[in-house]
Structure 1
């Protein structure tokens, strides 16, 4: 997996993820959506060698982003925004990306996790749980985005395990084999630490 930090960067190969700190603080869902689309259009234009206005991003009935123009590229797109950072994932297969803020002052909502995930968090030192939960939740959201279901798929119905600082594994009873995804942590230019996760489905 290739991680890029500038909307001017062109990925030499796919899949790739751009994590772009924008320095902005969207106030609502509309502003977050506009920020995502604007950043995605700019970097996709660079990646595909066209003008910004020639990139058209739409959404399917489930809310998944679709690259409508340029046509016939056979590419899959996933977008996320958190704390002023926009994540854009591009791949030739279904892909999901998510970014989550590490919330050190809040208790994680353990009741929406798979029992194996709750057990793994309990085994982690208390001062490391906030980061682990952010990575875990980013991975879960990235996975349901790649599936195209969003959290129409119950988050406790599959289990994510954090294999290392850079990788996670998804065990889903509806799929024959486990799948591997990728993790990264970053700062948004301010005080927030963010966890990003991406997964590409076969």
Structure 2
């Protein structure tokens, strides 16, 4: 598993995640989508040794992005944007990536979490909860992206267990016996503050 920070870097092996800090502060969903897709074309063009115009990204009916050109790569992608940071995951299988901004002044929305996650969060000192919530939420969103459902799947219907700052596992009653483990990363995004990123690939 590789973490890269420049859209022009090529991954020597997959899976890999590019976390690219930009100066943009997209205010709307349309602007965030344009930023994601533009950076994704740059990343994939470098990875495939092509011009960006030769790369095309489309979406499945459920919203999951796919590489429409070049055709036949067999690779799957996932995209995310938050506060000017663009994340792209590339892998040989179902993959999800997400990034969330840590808001020290916010109160985590406990009702959106699995009961066990609520207990784990409340067991932490209050100053530690915003970071832990960002880790949990990025992991949950990465997981439902890998499933291809997005949050049509209720976020409280499965449990994420954090393993320090750089790992997590998912227990999902709809996938009994399936191993689902991911990796996380905490980064400083320039003037955008602290961010929590999460990546997962499903078997």
Q: What TM-score comes out, normalization by structure 2 length?
A: 0.98
Q: How many residues align?
A: 202
Distance in 2 (CA, whole Å) between partners of 1:124 and 1:178 is 27
- Residue matched to 1:23: 23
- Residue matched to 1:33: 33
- Residue matched to 2:184: 183
- Asked if 1:200 is matched to 2:193, the reply is no
Secondary structure at the aligned position of 2:146 is classed as: helix
The answer as to whether partners of 1:142 and 1:198 remain within 8 angstroms in 2 is yes
Deviations, residues 23-53 of structure 1 (Å, cap 9, x unaligned): 1101211110000000000011000111100
Secondary structure at the aligned position of 2:104 is classed as: coil
- 1:133 deviation in Å? 0.2
Q: What TM-score comes out, normalization by structure 1 length?
A: 0.98
Runs of 4+ off more than 6 Å:
none
- Residue matched to 1:78: 78
Deviations, residues 30-85 of structure 1 (Å, cap 9, x unaligned): 11000000000001100011110000000111111110000100000000000000
Secondary structure at the aligned position of 2:190 is classed as: coil
Secondary structure at the aligned position of 2:117 is classed as: helix
Q: Which stretch of structure 1 is more off in the superposition, 139-148 or 168-177? A: 168-177
- 1:178 deviation in Å? 3.5
- 1:163 deviation in Å? 1.0
Q: Give the root-mean-square deviation of aligned CA atoms.
A: 0.8
Unpaired runs of at least 5, structure 1: none
The answer as to whether partners of 1:172 and 1:178 remain within 8 angstroms in 2 is no
Secondary structure at the aligned position of 2:191 is classed as: coil
- 1:177 deviation in Å? 2.7
- 1:191 deviation in Å? 4.5
Unpaired runs of at least 5, structure 2: none
The answer as to whether partners of 1:23 and 1:189 remain within 8 angstroms in 2 is no
The answer as to whether partners of 2:83 and 2:192 remain within 8 angstroms in 1 is no
The answer as to whether partners of 2:84 and 2:192 remain within 8 angstroms in 1 is no
Listed as ranges, the matches of 1:1-202 within 5 Å are 1-175=1-175, 176-202=177-203
Distance in 1 (CA, whole Å) between partners of 2:192 and 2:72 is 41
Secondary structure at the aligned position of 1:190 is classed as: helix
